[in-house]
Amino acid sequence: MENIIKIAKNWKDYEILDMAEGKKLERWGNYKLIRPDPQIIWTEKTFPKLWLEANAIYNRSKNGGGGWNYRTELPEYWNIHYKELTFHIKPMGFKHTGIFPEQAVNWDWMIDKIKKSKREIKVLNLFAYTGGATVACSYAGATVCHVDSSKGMCLWAKENLKASGLEKNAVRFIVDDVFKFVQREIRRNNKYDAIIMDPPSYGRGSNGEVWKFEEQISDLIKLCTQLLSKKPLFFLINSYTTGMSSTVISNLLKLKIKQKGKIESGEIGLPMKDSSLVLPCGIYGRWEEE
């Protein structure tokens, strides 16, 4: 088992231009945004003049939450591309834009795994958000079941699938609480060759069900192992939970998955343009067939 950081360095439509004082200056296609990031604890700006070019800034409120301050008018949404994939981007509440660009390292890995498998692959994507992994797996040729408790996020994911020219592919969108859906799939005896999950630190399901990462992730992984096919391809877990170690994720995979395979865990991150600095953005743990 290795513990490493994987850097999403193959973007052309996205880049971190600078980062300092708890904020990052990013280019999303033709637009530049400033967003807060708690990992950026240093104060030195490398390219101070670039910050003046930002189109919008997300400012946190002292009472929690925050909002966008627009220096210029922005479209309702715009598209950015990652290789052959296309995604809708728009500034939204709680500083998000619709995708997490660091996840491109996982998209590349999943696409490669699916294509090299030379067989039909069924993927279950849980807490699937706007469907970055769904689009990647569909592009690779897999059949995908996309599950998220937010109807709006599922609609956004459908838009991303269409923008990538994949709307005719076999993708099933489910608006539901993840736990309840997984339990129903077990009763139906449905099986999947690959499972992806990107659970929040805290959240609520479609009917107000409460999710807490530390309290429920172990039980969810155990349930999901009952959905694995006889010859599973991979099981990938992402987490942005503060203070959570990637070693915890690998330990859970070791304990829960009984099939023989390789387990790897570590951080994922983003490089800063014209710099040796790297921004750590989250952790991952993955099991894959040997």
* Cβ proximity of 213 and 200 under 8 Å: yes
* Cβ proximity of 3 and 246 under 8 Å: yes
Residues forming a β-bridge with 95: none
- pTM score of the predicted model: 0.94
What region, left, alpha or beta, does residue 128 occupy, with left being phi > 0 and alpha being psi -120 to 50 degrees?
alpha
pLDDT mean by block of 10 residues, the chain; 290 residues: 79 98 98 97 98 96 86 96 98 92 98 97 97 98 96 97 97 95 98 96 73 88 97 97 92 95 96 97 95
Residue 206: per-residue pLDDT? 61
* Cβ proximity of 172 and 144 under 8 Å: yes
What topology does CATH give the domain 10-95?
A: Immunoglobulin-like (2.60.40)
The two most distant CA atoms of the chain are separated, in Å, by 59
CATH class, domain 101-289, is alpha beta
Give the start-to-end residue ranges of the domains of the chain: 10-95, 101-289
Helix (H, G, I), strand (E, B) or coil at 126: strand
